[in-house]
């Protein structure tokens, strides 16, 4: 009973401590814990998986909300009757300048190459080459980073937005909803 209470108190204290961080400063918390996290990141998750010491994040990366970093394979459970101590682990290495989309899952033994993008909802089971955009289940290459950049620039120019982002709401509603005849 006392052990359970201590565990609950520890969890509450961690949650309180995490309230002092945001997506730009959480990397400081992770480094304070001894985890390998670079600088100038945006990280929207507050945990680096069950074995955070097996995760490495480079510099200038974005890891969006609800991303899961799996550093173990719990399915080894089905062999535990024969092999009671059987566990499977693997590292996750996210190189510099990567973007990991919302609700994607990065499996054990995966390296995300530098300058790469993982699309929202992707399940990454294999290494992502540098300068590559991947998506899907399982994740597969969609295009090169250069091709994606070209598409982004074309779409941006087509929008022809002026001024600061805070002023774009009415323009964006007009562009995207007026085309359907809706106000």
User: Would you state the pLDDT for residue 55?
Assistant: 97
Q: d(Cα 167, Cα 90) in Å, to the nearest integer?
A: 46
Edge to edge, the sheet with strand 105-106 lists 68-69, 105-106, 123-124
pLDDT at 162 over 80: yes
Structure tokens given for 96: 């510099």
Least confident of 8-22, 47-61, 87-101, 133-147: 8-22
CATH number of 22-143: 2.160.10.10
The domain ranges of the chain are 22-143
Residues 6-58 have pLDDT tens digits of 888 988 998 899 899 999 999 999 999 999 999 999 999 999 999 999 999 99
Average pLDDT value for residue range 138-146: 97
Tokens at 163, concatenated: 């001024």
85 SS3 class: coil
| Predicted structure pTM score | 0.87
> For residue 147, what pLDDT is reported?
97
């Amino acid at each position: 009973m006392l052990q359970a209470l201590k565990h609950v108190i520890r969890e509450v204290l961690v949650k309180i401590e995490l309230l002092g961080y945001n997506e730009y400063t959480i990397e400081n918390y992770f480094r304070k814990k001894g985890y390998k996290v670079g600088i100038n990141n945006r990280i929207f998750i507050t945990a680096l998986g069950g074995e955070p010491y097996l995760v490495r994040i480079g510099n200038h990366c974005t890891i969006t909300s609800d991303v899961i970093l799996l550093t173990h394979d719990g399915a080894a459970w089905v062999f535990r009757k024969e092999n009671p101590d059987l566990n499977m682990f693997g590292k996750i290495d996210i190189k510099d300048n990567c973007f990991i989309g919302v609700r994607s899952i990065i499996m054990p033994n995966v390296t995300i190459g530098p300058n790469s993008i993982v699309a929202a909802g992707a399940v990454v089971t294999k290494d992502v080459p540098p300068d590559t955009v991947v998506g899907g289940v399982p994740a597969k290459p969609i295009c090169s980073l250069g091709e994606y950049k070209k598409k982004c620039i074309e779409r941006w120019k087509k929008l022809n937005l002026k001024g600061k982002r805070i002023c774009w709401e009415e323009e964006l509603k007009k562009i995207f909803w007026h085309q359907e005849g809706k106000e």
